[in-house]
């Protein structure tokens, strides 16, 4: 995080500025996971982001999904892991799995 703020404070600030915002939250982890349950990533409608829910390409995939959530308003539960055929492509080859809930703020 560039400013050292809690991502939820960043989300609140961005919303006050009139930006469209989504919040991604790590809901569950199994095995080796880069970020603990409760970790947050906030994304605005322009693709700016603060925080972290994983790392590497997983975050890129979460940001892409978050932009869709901002546009549609429909929340999504995402799952990434080695059992998923996309695990290697999105970079969660460490043997773990994570579930990330993405919702629009406001």
CB atoms within 10 A of CB 11: 24
To the nearest 5 percent, what fractions of the chain are helix, strand and coil? 30, 30, 40
Secondary element (H or E) of residue 78: strand 76-81
pLDDT digits (tens, 9 = 90+) for 52-95: 998 778 899 999 999 999 999 999 999 988 555 554 555 555 66
Q: Which H or E run includes 80?
A: strand 76-81
pLDDT tens readout for residues 23-64: 999 999 988 788 999 999 999 999 999 999 987 788 999 999
């Amino acid at each position: 995080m560039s400013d050292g703020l809690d991502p939820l404070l960043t989300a609140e600030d961005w919303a006050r500025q009139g930006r469209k915002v989504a919040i991604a939250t790590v809901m569950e982890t199994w095995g080796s996971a880069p970020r603990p349950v409760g970790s947050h990533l906030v994304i605005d409608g322009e693709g700016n982001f603060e925080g972290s829910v994983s790392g590497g390409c997983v975050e890129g995939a979460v940001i892409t999904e978050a932009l869709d959530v901002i546009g549609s308003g429909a929340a999504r539960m995402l799952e990434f892991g080695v059992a998923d055929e996309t695990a290697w492509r999105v970079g969660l080859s460490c043997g773990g799995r994570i579930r990330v809930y993405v919702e629009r703020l406001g």
